[in-house]
Structure 1
Amino acid sequence: MTLRPAAPIDDFGTLPDGRPVRRVTLDNGALRVGLLDLGALIQDVRLNGIETALTLGSPDIAAYAGRMGHFGAVMGPVVNRIGGARAVIDGREYRFDANQDGRHTRHGGSAATHLKVWRIADHGPAHATFRIDLPDGEGGFPGNRRLTASYRLDDAALIVDLTATTDAPTPVNLANHGYWTMNGGPDWTGQRLQVLADRYLPTTDENLPTGAIVPVAGTPFDFREARELDPTLPKLDANFCLADAPRDLTPALLLAGPLGTLEIATTAPGMQVFDMGTIDLGDVPTHHARPYRPRFALAFEPQMWPDALGRADWPDIVLRPGRTFRQTTRYAFAA
């Protein structure tokens, strides 16, 4: 397949509540990426010479109005979980929307950024920036906040820059929630995974960190050397501890398969790896012309560590006025 120039912005469809959604297409000849202003999400990724989409997605707006709403989206203002849907910041207690079993906050609750249509602030053939303003108190989160998600192509790599500012102390943990495949599905067969982390966070039955930080050595979570993805592998939905704080852009993960390789480098100190084991989307239209069933692909979420509020020895996710949250992640593809 040879990539052809596409319209930089087109109408993608209309949500059930009447909000229009637009798509921005980036294309530099080596890589073509479709982005939606809904959730500032990555809708499609095509590498020159390969017919198959390398990320899970749909050509149909109805899919994103349903259970695919988080596929490829920027999750926030706090990705993952906030245990007990509460936190104390500078001596003041805040309560957040408890959208997980009525007890915990998951992916921002009712204030989730993947549910919102962002503004297209800037775009060109190989770059686009989306912006959104979050009001003080929405979902229980303090501060008037401005978030940006910037995408740019560099040869066969997609670079994602996420930023946030605030006028009051507030928790911020942004992550892109893309699902990736280097074999086109329908399962893991023939792929290898490497995660450059020597520790991970075990979780409870509610997917909350237990508080322990455990070496991966001797566990099913040891991917320090590339491993074949075994269909019998136990549930995989955990934060791998890449570092104790944000750092310079550093290699973090490799996914290799028949279609080629995806190498991820990130400044984030954590990487959530989710095996898609609980996801079955039924018969919604997909890029791969087949249903997305459990373990069709893997989600990789560069992030601060989950449920970090109140844990003094974990990376701090409280953003303060005058400072900027920044995260850069590079997705490099090769056939």
Structure 2
Amino acid sequence: MNLAPDLNQVQCITLTNAQLKVNILTLGASIQSIYLKGYAHSLVLGSSNLSDYLGDAKYFGAVVGRVANRTAKGHAVVDGKTYQLPLTLPEPHHLHGGPAGTGSKNWSVVEQADDRVQLQTQLSDGEMGYPGNMVVNVVYQLLDNSLEMDITATTDRLTICNFAGHSYLNLDGTGSILDHQLHIKADHYLPVDNELIPTGEVTPTEGSTFDFNQLRRIGREDYPGLDTNFCLSLCNRPLQTVATLKAPITGLTLDYQTTEPGLQVYDGRHIQLSAASNINPGRLTAYAGLALEAQHWPDAVHQSHFPPILLAPEDRYQQITRYVFR
């Protein structure tokens, strides 16, 4: 069965205000580009070739789910029943909702204005192995020098739910984020095994290689790299700044705000995209962008002490995440 969407049906919606111009693709509800007044390059990675979003640019700017990040062996138990979710090969685990998760679907436009768009997708019971019919909405809205992403979801059956925006940021357009500086307001992080599955430990960041409690060059000299969940809280909180990213070359700074209890940070070590497809000049290679992915903690279905990701029919999932540029 061909799970790929018809790329001829994909729309590109442009949002503008006095400070920002943002292109949103209905494919994956993806942020394709963000342009800030006074800067010529997009502040996020993107491709001009739609087919890349099903290949080398998979997840670029997409809303991924219905469960973001890794679920060990694709195994999940919901309400006493075991579900086998499809593996995202070549990984031996389920990743970002599976091979045809929300990041690979062509969403519908519900409402559109100059500075705002609402997109929707519907997930059927059993789709990618998950229980429950689900309706997912995302609203992108420009607020002065900020882009806000508001994701909501409802279900008709107890299920698991954990969405994430998956934009790769690069604030200076140089092709590498290793000289960017990063600050993360997190006292703990999740150690992982050699397949990037959390061990279950919740470890203090202070004094560790993952201590970003002060603005610090990302680099890669003194730690093994970043594909790491930083623990912000044990439940959703009011919108607040949880990370700051700064590009010394331009002085441009991003304050990353979210309501979510976790922040997955990925250094883009596997990025490969040709110069012909890149919306910015040049070829994209390893470490070309940094992914900041607000979400609940990964593999929560197997760790009872992690913030839960169950969604019941009487409840409503909501995540608000905001990119504030200054």
TM-score grouping bracket, smaller chain normalisation? over 0.9
* Aligned counterpart for 2:320 among listed residues 313, 317, 328: 328
Alignment of structure 1 residues 1-335 onto 2, 5 Å: 17=6, 19-101=8-90, 103-232=92-221, 233-257=223-247, 258-259=249-250, 260-334=252-326
In structure 1, distance between residues paired with 2:197 and 2:16 = 39
Q: For 1:114, what is the secondary structure of its paired residue?
A: helix
Show CA shifts across 1:17-52 (max 9, x none): 554211010001211100000000000000011111
Tell me by how many angstroms 1:91 deviates.
1.2
51-60 vs 152-161, which moves further:
51-60
| Native 8 Å contact 1:245 1:315 kept in 2 | yes
Tell me by how many angstroms 1:16 deviates.
8.1
When residues 185 and 98 of structure 1 are mapped into structure 2, their CA distance, relative to the original with a 3 A threshold, is: same
| Native 8 Å contact 2:72 2:197 kept in 1 | yes
Q: For 2:128, what is the secondary structure of its paired residue?
A: helix
Tell me by how many angstroms 1:102 deviates.
6.6
| Native 8 Å contact 1:308 1:317 kept in 2 | yes
In structure 2, distance between residues paired with 1:18 and 1:91 = 39
Tell me by how many angstroms 1:139 deviates.
1.2
In structure 1, distance between residues paired with 2:263 and 2:300 = 14
In structure 2, distance between residues paired with 1:231 and 1:148 = 37
Q: For 1:264, what is the secondary structure of its paired residue?
A: strand
1:6 corresponds to? none
In structure 2, distance between residues paired with 1:191 and 1:103 = 32
| Native 8 Å contact 1:146 1:166 kept in 2 | yes
Letter in 2 for 1:27: T
Letter in 1 for 2:114: P
| Native 8 Å contact 1:26 1:153 kept in 2 | yes
224-233 vs 178-187, which moves further:
224-233
When residues 162 and 88 of structure 1 are mapped into structure 2, their CA distance, relative to the original with a 3 A threshold, is: same
| Native 8 Å contact 1:98 1:106 kept in 2 | yes
| Native 8 Å contact 2:140 2:150 kept in 1 | yes
Letter in 1 for 2:107: W
Tell me by how many angstroms 1:189 deviates.
4.8
Letter in 1 for 2:39: I
Letter in 2 for 1:262: L
In structure 2, distance between residues paired with 1:104 and 1:294 = 23
- Unpaired runs of at least 5, structure 1: 1-14
| Native 8 Å contact 1:57 1:286 kept in 2 | yes
In structure 1, distance between residues paired with 2:178 and 2:245 = 12
In structure 2, distance between residues paired with 1:62 and 1:33 = 20
When residues 35 and 210 of structure 1 are mapped into structure 2, their CA distance, relative to the original with a 3 A threshold, is: same
In structure 2, distance between residues paired with 1:70 and 1:119 = 18
In structure 1, distance between residues paired with 2:66 and 2:178 = 35
In structure 1, distance between residues paired with 2:311 and 2:79 = 12
Tell me by how many angstroms 1:284 deviates.
4.5
| Native 8 Å contact 2:112 2:118 kept in 1 | yes
In structure 1, distance between residues paired with 2:75 and 2:38 = 49
How many aligned positions are there?
320
15-24 vs 164-173, which moves further:
15-24
In structure 2, distance between residues paired with 1:173 and 1:139 = 14
Letter in 2 for 1:44: S
In structure 2, distance between residues paired with 1:37 and 1:278 = 25
Letter in 1 for 2:153: A
Tell me by how many angstroms 1:229 deviates.
2.3
Letter in 1 for 2:228: A
TM-score by length of 1: 0.92
| Native 8 Å contact 1:52 1:288 kept in 2 | yes
Tell me by how many angstroms 1:85 deviates.
1.0
Name the % identity. 38
Tell me by how many angstroms 1:231 deviates.
4.0
| Native 8 Å contact 2:152 2:317 kept in 1 | yes
Tell me by how many angstroms 1:101 deviates.
4.5
Tell me by how many angstroms 1:242 deviates.
0.6
| Native 8 Å contact 1:35 1:42 kept in 2 | yes
In structure 1, distance between residues paired with 2:165 and 2:199 = 24
1:12 corresponds to? none
- Unpaired runs of at least 5, structure 2: none
